[in-house]
Structure 1
């Protein structure tokens, strides 16, 4: 049924302590503000928890309303409170009443910090949009989401939470630890941008290493270059590779089983520490720096990558959102400049990530921004790279034309 759902998580509340520990006092407050907001009380239930380790117990309570409910829980040892107000809007719009009740309760607890959520629920005559709406945040500030009709998988691997969802818009979509990784419909934005600027700028890449990239999308783009004789993919989580083989053929298109490809389940740090091979290209197709992939964004790991590059080779990685994660992008650019003579940041809007995304090519010899468009076009034709949705010779130059705010980050 159509309605409004409000939640608030209150921190460091400066209210009278009795409001946190006495059920009768809290109940009177909630009843008063509920009635003052114009909502209809039909029943209630309150419970005070016993003391624990010398700390007073909190209170849990609920008011049942003709319009729906109010739920409260207090944590006196933390001076914290959670509030939950839901009203249906069946015979009239009760949204203002719910907002008034929430406002009064927040003011009564006097928090110094809080998090609030405002969710419109349901439709009058059934769901207008069927399925599950799945949200993600960028740097804890911007939130975006997509609706999925089916949830194919949801399980914990040895390293991360793996989800596979499906929608008419995105097709099959992979999430790891609550973050969107790739989808069938728009994977080309990220994978083409990750692979082709450096691969095409390189005069003759023959060997390549991908660290991460278990979905196989970057590998598939890389193998479009006829000159690639050997491509090694090293991913820590074998379950990601297994799921990709079974469910994400439209992304890897069989590249995971291409005779030129070697697919290993291994820690990328350990692999680079032991390998004696040298690569024309190393692509870091990783989860973000604040995930278990964090050690692969460090100066020590970049040094190992540099050591594993053949003469004229290049390292490619994504850095996050220049707008939402400026300090992360600035720090990574600085770290790369401490290791390589040429660092060329670039960017592309990635629909699945909800924002403009930063990447970089780092090398002691290769500068992809210095390669003319005519040369890029000629190499794509000579190598038979024609099955592209995003990248072309004119886009190549545009990728490296940075907005001023991003450019300033890369120069610090």
Structure 2
């Protein structure tokens, strides 16, 4: 009987109204999403209701699955939908398929607000659930999470913060793992310090995304940093991070050197590039973004991976400036890694890809420093050690003088991606 039970209550649904009233249109949508999720339909029932005057009044449907069931009830008078997905995990783990199906259904109904619950049935116990993130259509990685400390549907994404035994507090956006208290330094230190240490004296920085505050916290360790523009499209991420993720940002979100801009990063950068000004000459630009596309097809940050955007970032860099971004997993996302590396090379004279294993992501992760002049690969361990001492960077957990050149030592299969 061990399995995963998911429910969602969706309010203010902005989908086509017929999806809440017409059993045939609802059937096409539900069957398509269930099939795409990889679950197996073995039976179905769609029952329309009528109001006293004979008008349509909602639909109840149930799909019998080889893995268990899906049940939906629409409330057109409230623009609301209730969803219920249960899968058995006795012979194989169907959790990722169930999570993907629930996410796809929620996206299709497009609620302005939603509330989800995850219950591990049978052997799970202790109110925890195995939360899985789909790395590819064929692979997933996850960890057990306690009931959410906070969850909300912002105008941009679903935000969840929950406790875990291994990672401490974990933030997820639209079901994707973003950061955790206990492993954030793997990602944030390696995103920030290779480029920041290579720069002789970084003073001004722009961060696109980064609402958890981790990259800001690492940048502020450099004594020359005088100003950071933190451009985060979703203020709710910052609000929840302030409340729950103090061990990640350590007050950086409220440091007077950090200026908050609640705007789409793509629009902010293109507008700044069209109107050059002294305050838009950045020594470092960090793209601390969600993935360009998730397995369910959503792409909140996709514009910020385009060549047009990278060209605009290039225009905002000061002399000796550099851009840093992540490229995804070279194993799970080799095409993305190679394509982004090629795009960077078409805009910048020097592109230095590197890798770091990120425990929360369950994968080797790719990053790159792109610049016309800055060459972090050229710094040997002695030069890095000297700059670490000069800048008083003693409280790092991952990055050090020996790690710096090792980050840029790429396996052959990674060297060949996009080369």
TM above 0.5, yes or no, is yes
Residue number in structure 2 paired with 1:304: 312
Mapping of residues 322-361 of structure 1, within 5 Å: 322-361=330-369
Mapping of residues 13-412 of structure 1, within 5 Å: 122-123=122-123, 127=124, 130-275=127-272, 276=277, 277-290=280-293, 291-411=299-419
Residue number in structure 1 paired with 2:101: none
| Structure 1: runs of 5 or more not aligned | 12-19, 21-25, 28-45, 51-58, 74-82, 89-94, 97-119
Change (3 A) 1:197 1:62: closer
d(CA) in 2 for partners of 1:332, 1:152: 35
- SS of equivalent to 1:197: helix
The answer on whether the counterparts of 2:127 and 2:147 sit within 8 Å (CA) in structure 1 is: no
Q: Once the 2 structures are TM-superposed, how far is the Cα of residue 274 of structure 1 from its aligned partner?
A: 3.5
- SS of equivalent to 1:151: coil
- SS of equivalent to 2:416: helix
Q: Which string of whole-angstrom CA distances, capped at 9 and with x for unpartnered residues, describes residues 135-172 of structure 1? A: 11112221111101231122110111111111232111
Change (3 A) 1:306 1:130: same
Change (3 A) 1:305 1:85: closer
Q: Once the 2 structures are TM-superposed, how far is the Cα of residue 273 of structure 1 from its aligned partner?
A: 3.0
- SS of equivalent to 1:263: strand
**TM-score, reference length from structure 2:** 0.71
d(CA) in 1 for partners of 2:409, 2:68: 53
- SS of equivalent to 2:369: strand
- SS of equivalent to 1:150: coil
The answer on whether the counterparts of 1:150 and 1:167 sit within 8 Å (CA) in structure 2 is: no
d(CA) in 1 for partners of 2:357, 2:63: 46
Change (3 A) 1:264 1:400: same
The answer on whether the counterparts of 2:172 and 2:178 sit within 8 Å (CA) in structure 1 is: yes
Question: Which ranges of 4 or more aligned residues in structure 1 deviate by more than 6 Å?
Answer: 59-63, 68-73
Change (3 A) 1:301 1:84: closer
d(CA) in 2 for partners of 1:162, 1:72: 24
Change (3 A) 1:242 1:340: same
Q: Once the 2 structures are TM-superposed, how far is the Cα of residue 178 of structure 1 from its aligned partner?
A: 1.0
The answer on whether the counterparts of 1:192 and 1:391 sit within 8 Å (CA) in structure 2 is: yes
- SS of equivalent to 2:364: strand
How many correspondences in the alignment?
327
For the pair shown, which has the larger CA radius of gyration, 1 or 2? Answer: 1
Q: Which string of whole-angstrom CA distances, capped at 9 and with x for unpartnered residues, describes residues 218-264 of structure 1? A: 00000001111111111111111111111111100001111221122
Change (3 A) 1:192 1:62: closer
Larger displacement relative to structure 2 (262-271 or 329-338): 262-271
Q: Once the 2 structures are TM-superposed, how far is the Cα of residue 348 of structure 1 from its aligned partner?
A: 0.3
Change (3 A) 1:340 1:382: same
d(CA) in 2 for partners of 1:87, 1:257: 44
Q: Which string of whole-angstrom CA distances, capped at 9 and with x for unpartnered residues, describes residues 24-44 of structure 1? A: xx99xxxxxxxxxxxxxxxxx
Q: Which string of whole-angstrom CA distances, capped at 9 and with x for unpartnered residues, describes residues 325-362 of structure 1? A: 11111110111110000001100000111100000000
The answer on whether the counterparts of 2:270 and 2:309 sit within 8 Å (CA) in structure 1 is: no
